[in-house]
């Protein structure tokens, strides 16, 4: 009997906490959903390329831009998945101008073939979204011998952008959107071991490649000044997608805590914002998260490293990009 107040309190809490949780759930969800692109811009007559658009953030970005009337090219490595995504987007948006094309960013030959085919078939390119990405892969190399994260996330998109830049300039005003990550904060450009041959840690390899994307954006923005082509980078948020497929722990956490993650549609908002927002028409070289400017790490603001990475990337790819 003496324990009655304690028991009553415990019972009260046991009933109140789940109720509070239930009442707070929509607010918690709204908080984790993050920023939303509110632009109603239409894209009729505009041509868009999105890499890795068969699933996750890329697919939702493609769906949104197709819904705005753009001709959207899904540039993907797996044509079965790509055709399925294109068909789904065509059905959902009613836009028949959604096309799947083969692009494997882990193979420079495939990147060159994609660009060649694109330039033959399309007259203009208004929005290029470098979205595809790999994370936490076991050590592996691309067809050209580049470490997989560095090769796909950075060098693959670097080469693709190089091959499409003249077309973007010709189609100006046009935009390049580089999907990076908050993970860039943990990255460093290890010029002494870019291919991770001396030491490799899968988590860090992702961070390094995402930092490379931020530095690429910075240097490219400087070089594109006055051309009518802008380039910005972004963090999409923590999104429930296939990205952690190589990590059992991350996969488990992703499945355990879905309400703390953005849906792919929520994760696509900042990509869409960078691609269409009217107020970003002349903004270039910036980094966004939740549809607003975000903090870039000191390593990501290092112009000297950005310039050196540019030169080394050109050298590795055997291109001249002045």
Ligand X SMILES: NC(=O)c1ccc[n+]([C@@H]2O[C@H](COP(=O)([O-])OP(=O)(O)OC[C@H]3O[C@@H](n4cnc5c(N)ncnc54)[C@H](OP(=O)(O)O)[C@@H]3O)[C@@H](O)[C@H]2O)c1
Q: Which positions are catalytic?
A: 206
Closest approach, Cβ 261 to ligand X, in A, equals 7
Nearer to ligand X, 16 or 143 (CB): 143
Supply 123's token pair: 């007259």
Rounded to a whole number of angstroms, the minimum distance from the CB of residue 321 to ligand X is 21
C-beta closer to ligand X: residue 46 or 235: 235
Applying CB under 6 A, among 34, 187, 196, 236 the residue interacting with ligand X is 236
Cβ-based nearer residue to ligand X, 139 or 170: 139
Q: Does 131 bind ligand X (CB under 6 A)?
A: yes
Beta bridge partners of 99: 73
For residue 154, what is the DSSP state? I
- Minimum Å gap between C-beta 311 and ligand X is 24
Q: Please count the residues of this chain forming the interface with ligand X, following the rule CB under 6 A.
A: 30
The upper half-sphere exposure of residue 21, i.e. CA atoms within 13 Å in the direction of its Cβ, equals 7
Residues 242-261 that bind ligand X (CB under 6 A): 242-243
- Residue from the set 72, 127, 136, 152 that interacts with ligand X by CB under 6 A: 152
SS3 292: strand
**Joined tokens for residue 124:** 């203009």
Indicate the residue among 53 and 167 with the shorter CB distance to ligand X.
53
Kindly write down the DSSP assignment for every residue of 149-216, as one continuous string: HIIIIIIIHHHHHHHHHHHHHHT-SEEEEEE--GGGGG----GGGTT-SS---HHHHHHHHHHHHHHH
Q: Does 144 bind ligand X (CB under 6 A)?
A: no
- The distance of closest approach from Cβ of residue 206 to ligand X in the complex, given in angstroms and rounded to an integer, is 7
CA-based torsion, 262, 265, 266, 272: positive or negative: positive
Task: State the Cα–Cα distance between residues 285 and 17, nearest whole angstrom.
Answer: 46
- Give the residue among 100, 103, 93, 48 at the shortest CA–CA distance from 71: 48
Q: Residues 268 to 297: which contact ligand X by CB under 6 A?
A: none
Find the shortest distance in angstroms from Cβ 174 to ligand X: 21
Token pair 């390094």: residue? 208
Q: x-or-dash pattern for ligand X, window 177-216, by CB under 6 A?
A: --x-x-----------------------------------
Q: How many CB atoms within 10 Å of residue 92?
A: 12
Partner residues linked to 293 by β-bridges: 288
CB of 239 to ligand X, least distance (A): 4
Tell which residue, 151, 108, 107, has the closest CA to residue 133.
151
Q: From residue 44 to residue 83, what is the string marking binding to ligand X with x (rule CB under 6 A)?
A: -------xx-xxxxx-----------------xxx--x--
| Those residues with Cβ within 8 angstroms of residue 28's Cβ, 6 or more apart along the chain or in another chain | 259
Q: Which is nearer to ligand X, 108 or 305 (CB)?
A: 108
Query: Can you tell me the distance from the alpha carbon of 68 to that of 43, in angstroms, rounded to the nearest whole number?
Result: 5
Judged by CB under 6 A, the chain residues 87 through 106 that form the site for ligand X are 103-106
Q: Which residues bind ligand X (CB under 6 A)?
A: 51-52, 54-58, 76-78, 81, 103-106, 131-135, 152, 179, 181, 235-236, 238-239, 241-243
């Amino acid at each position: 009997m003496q324990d009655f107040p304690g028991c009553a309190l415990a019972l009260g809490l046991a009933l109140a906490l789940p109720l509070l949780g239930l009442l707070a759930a929509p607010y918690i969800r709204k908080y984790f959903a993050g920023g939303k692109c509110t632009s109603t811009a239409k894209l009729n007559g505009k041509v868009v390329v999105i890499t890795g658009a068969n699933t996750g953030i890329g697919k939702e970005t493609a769906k949104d831009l197709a819904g705005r009337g753009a001709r959207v090219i899904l540039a993907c490595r797996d044509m079965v998945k790509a055709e399925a995504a294109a068909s789904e987007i065509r059905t959902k948006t009613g836009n028949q101008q959604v096309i799947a094309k083969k692009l494997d960013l882990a193979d420079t030959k495939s990147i060159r073939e994609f660009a060649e085919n694109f330039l033959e078939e399309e007259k203009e390119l208004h929005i290029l979204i470098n979205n595809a990405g790999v994370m936490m892969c076991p050590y592996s190399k691309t067809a050209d011998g580049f470490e997989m994260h560095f090769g796909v996330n950075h060098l693959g998109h670097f080469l693709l952008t190089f091959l499409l830049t003249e077309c973007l300039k010709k189609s100006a005003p046009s935009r390049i959107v580089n999907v990076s990550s908050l993970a860039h904060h943990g990255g460093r450009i290890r010029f002494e071991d870019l291919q991770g041959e001396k030491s490799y840690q899968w988590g860090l390899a992702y961070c390094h490649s995402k930092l490379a994307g931020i530095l690429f954006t910075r240097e490219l923005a400087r070089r594109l000044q006055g051309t009518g082509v802008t380039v910005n980078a972004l963090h999409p948020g923590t999104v429930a997608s296939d990205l952690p497929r190589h990590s059992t722990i991350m996969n488990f956490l992703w499945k355990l805590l879905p309400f703390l993650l953005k849906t792919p549609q929520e994760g696509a908002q900042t990509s869409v914002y960078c691609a269409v927002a009217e107020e970003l028409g002349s903004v270039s070289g910036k980094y966004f998260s939740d549809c607003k400017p975000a903090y870039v790490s000191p390593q990501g603001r290092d112009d000297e490293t950005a310039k050196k990475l540019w030169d080394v990337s050109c050298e590795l790819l055997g291109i001249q990009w002045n």
